[in-house]
């Protein structure tokens, strides 16, 4: 992996929404000339673009412009004396191969972002990884999701949670990450390389969209195969084959596969895998997570609430929000906001209802939605991995029963929810779950613990103070949102990334409890692959 130089970044360049990006470059060029006349001809590029909508009457586009300069270390003192100027280290970690022999190629369980990026890194360095995916290809998975949505026939192995690309494929394709890691830029560049829009490299809230991300996933997997890797679809991981602390093979639904190292990137919904690891005594611990519902508003209402008279301006796009509040004991927040999107049926187990959100790249849907979820602490459910899984599963099954079965989703208007009533059918704002045709009025108190539903009631009132109309009486709540993150963590060494008590087991990504979203999961997969490379040399098939 090649290193990259430090760059000078000129931030907080605020311009009116009608201004062009060229005006931001002019401002940055002038500031660069002031701190380093010798660098005045340096190449400039757009580093970040965001929207400041705190004053609806004076919305601004906020730019950060970067310069590639020679001798950036010499600029350090000049940069330090300037406001809104910084040196950003974009250098990538050095990668060296280890000396241990691999008895067989590494096996990666799961073709979500952690698994795909780990496999891509390994394939690029000659390790010929084998990806095992319990679900189908993107095309097969799309058909399975269509059947579930239209015919209510659930494939428990190929659905919104499982299959090529992982759970993020059928979401908004959001690439926002809260971690500060130079690999973030590397991940975005790889997405662009395989077909994502160039804009994701500089947007403050980058998103690809489900329709575009599907093709990106296909091309990434094709590249892994072209580099000597292998992808085995419809192949469910069952258990590892152990010789002492070392895994020598994996048992799968299609037979035994030898391996020299095992990367577990199973995603946050692989409950059967968790159960098998618990049975084997693997180092799993319970952790906090969140549960709640999806809230839907008209996209135009959210746009107007946040942008005022500037709503629908081409420079702004669909309005987005990210809200949080705290009760006396726990937090409530919005999560995975999907402008111009829909609520999707995301069950992966029979007789349970799970919802998620998605948008296509254009974000041109009538409604916008987001999860509104409440913190769940280990003390709320018994603090064991088994009880964490049981807690989520009970909510999903209670939601299924509350809505009358057949994977109908329970819905309620916000007005009824706040008043403790159940009498209003949605009118102006129509639910989008399964096309809005497979929903039933039902109180969230039937499927959510009282501390969750009561916390969300209070939060909606608070959120309405910040976004006018957020708690509009005709907004629609759909349950249940339970898969915000994995309920467990597989313990591993911070440096080697090897699971405690094992010699060659590498837990990775969101399903192992080390990421939250596409980008952070991809980064965790890359760093896991790098740790494996540091330990082993490529498998010699001769």
**Can you tell me the mean pLDDT for 199-227?**
94
Q: Which contiguous run of DSSP H or E holds residue 39?
A: none
pLDDT on residue 408? 98
Report the percent of the chain where pLDDT is more than 70.
Answer: 97
Q: Can you name the residues that pair with 326 across neighbouring β-strands?
A: 331
Q: Could you report the per-residue pLDDT of 420-451, keeping only the tens digit for each?
A: 999 999 999 999 999 998 999 999 999 999 99
pLDDT on residue 125? 95
Banded model confidence at residue 214, pLDDT cuts 50, 70, 90? very high
Q: Could you report the per-residue pLDDT of 126-142, keeping only the tens digit for each?
A: 999 999 999 999 999 99
- Please check the confidence at residue 168 and state whether its pLDDT lies above 90: no
pLDDT on residue 416? 98
**Can you tell me the mean pLDDT for 271-279?**
96
Q: Could you report the per-residue pLDDT of 296-330, keeping only the tens digit for each?
A: 999 999 999 999 999 989 999 999 999 999 987 89
Please, what is the end-to-end C-alpha distance for the chain in angstroms? 26
- Please check the confidence at residue 72 and state whether its pLDDT lies above 70: no
- Please check the confidence at residue 3 and state whether its pLDDT lies above 60: no
Q: Are 481 and 373 in contact (CB under 8 A)?
A: yes
Average pLDDT, the chain: 93
pLDDT on residue 227? 97
- Please check the confidence at residue 65 and state whether its pLDDT lies above 80: yes
- Please check the confidence at residue 112 and state whether its pLDDT lies above 90: yes
Q: Are 113 and 37 in contact (CB under 8 A)?
A: no
pLDDT on residue 170? 85
Residue of 224, 126, 248 lying closest to 541 (CA atoms): 126
- Please check the confidence at residue 216 and state whether its pLDDT lies above 80: yes
**Can you tell me the mean pLDDT for 2-21?**
85
Q: Are 518 and 117 in contact (CB under 8 A)?
A: no
Neighbours of 89 (CB within 10 A): 11
pLDDT on residue 541? 66
For 240, the token pair is 């590892």
Report the percent of the chain where pLDDT is more than 90.
Answer: 84
Residue with tokens 């799993």: 284
Q: Could you report the per-residue pLDDT of 220-273, keeping only the tens digit for each?
A: 999 999 999 999 999 999 999 999 999 999 999 999 999 999 999 999 999 999
Distance (Å, rounded) from C-alpha 468 to C-alpha 465?
A: 6
pLDDT on residue 178? 65
pLDDT on residue 7? 86
Neighbour-count burial for 14-29, b at 16+ CB within 10 Å, e otherwise = ebebeeebeebbeebb
**Can you tell me the mean pLDDT for 83-88?**
88
For 333, the token pair is 């927040």
Banded model confidence at residue 19, pLDDT cuts 50, 70, 90? very high
**Can you tell me the mean pLDDT for 71-84?**
76
Q: Could you report the per-residue pLDDT of 145-157, keeping only the tens digit for each?
A: 999 999 999 999 9
Banded model confidence at residue 390, pLDDT cuts 50, 70, 90? very high
Residue ranges and CATH numbers for the domains of the chain are 6-89 (3.30.70.2700), 107-285+486-535 (3.50.50.60), 288-481 (no CATH)
Highest mean pLDDT pick, 6-10, 83-87, 326-330, 472-476: 472-476
Q: Could you report the per-residue pLDDT of 465-498, keeping only the tens digit for each?
A: 999 999 999 999 999 999 999 999 999 999 999 9
Banded model confidence at residue 457, pLDDT cuts 50, 70, 90? very high
pLDDT on residue 5? 65
């Amino acid at each position: 992996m090649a290193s990259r130089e430090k760059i000078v970044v000129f931030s907080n360049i605020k311009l009116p929404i009608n201004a062009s990006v060229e005006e931001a470059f002019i401002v940055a060029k002038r500031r660069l000339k002031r701190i380093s006349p010798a660098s005045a001809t340096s190449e400039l590029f757009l580093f970040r673009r965001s929207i400041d909508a705190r004053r609806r009457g004076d919305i601004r586009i906020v730019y950060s412009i970067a310069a590639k300069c020679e001798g950036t270390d010499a600029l350090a003192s000049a940069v330090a004396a300037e406001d809104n100027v910084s040196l950003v280290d974009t250098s990538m970690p050095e990668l060296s191969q280890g000396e241990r022999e691999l008895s067989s190629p590494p096996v990666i369980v799961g073709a979500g972002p952690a698994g795909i990026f780990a496999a891509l890194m390994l394939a690029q360095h000659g390790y010929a990884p084998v990806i095992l995916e319990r679900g189908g290809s993107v095309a097969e998975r799309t058909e399975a999701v269509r059947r579930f949505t239209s015919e209510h026939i659930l494939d428990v192995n190929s659905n919104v949670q499982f299959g090529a690309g992982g759970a993020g494929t059928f979401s908004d394709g959001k690439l926002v990450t809260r971690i500060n890691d130079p690999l973030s830029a590397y991940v975005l560049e790889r997405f662009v390389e395989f077909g994502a829009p160039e804009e994701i490299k500089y947007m403050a809230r980058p998103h690809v969209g489900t329709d575009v991300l599907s093709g990106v996933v296909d091309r990434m997997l094709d590249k892994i195969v072209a580099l000597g890797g292998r992808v085995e679809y419809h192949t469910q991981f069952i258990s590892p084959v152990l010789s002492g602390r070392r895994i020598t093979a994996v048992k799968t639904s299609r037979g035994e596969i030898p391996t020299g190292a095992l990367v577990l990137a199973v995603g946050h919904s692989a409950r059967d895998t968790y159960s098998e690891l618990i049975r084997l005594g693997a180092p799993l611990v319970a952790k906090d997570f969140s549960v709640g519902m999806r809230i839907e508003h008209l996209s135009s209402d959210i746009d107007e609430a946040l942008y005022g008279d500037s709503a629908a301006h081409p420079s702004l796009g669909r309005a987005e929000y990210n809200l949080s509040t705290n009760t006396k004991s726990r937090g409530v927040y919005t999560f995975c906001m999907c402008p111009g999107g829909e609520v999707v049926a995301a069950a992966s187990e029979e007789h349970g209802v799970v919802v998620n959100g998605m948008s296509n790249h254009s974000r041109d849907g009538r409604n916008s939605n987001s999860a509104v979820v409440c913190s769940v602490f280990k003390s709320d459910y018994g603090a064991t991995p088994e009880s964490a899984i049981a807690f989520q599963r009970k909510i999903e099954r209670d939601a299924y029963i509350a809505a009358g079965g057949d994977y109908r989703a329970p819905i309620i208007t916000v007005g009824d929810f706040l008043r403790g009533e159940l009498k209003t059918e949605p009118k102006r704002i129509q639910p989008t779950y399964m096309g809005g045709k497979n929903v039933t009025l039902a109180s969230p108190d039937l499927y959510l613990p009282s501390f969750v539903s009561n916390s969300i009631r209070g939060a909606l009132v608070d959120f309405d103070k910040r976004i006018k109309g957020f708690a509009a009486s005709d907004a629609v709540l759909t349950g249940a949102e339970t898969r915000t993150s994995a309920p467990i963590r597989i313990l591993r060494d911070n440096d080697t990334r090897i699971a405690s008590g094992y010699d060659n087991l590498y837990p990775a990504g969101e399903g192992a409890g080390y990421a939250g979203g596409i980008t952070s999961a991809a980064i965790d997969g890359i760093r896991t692959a790098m740790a494996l490379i540091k330990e082993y040399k490529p498998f010699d098939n001769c």
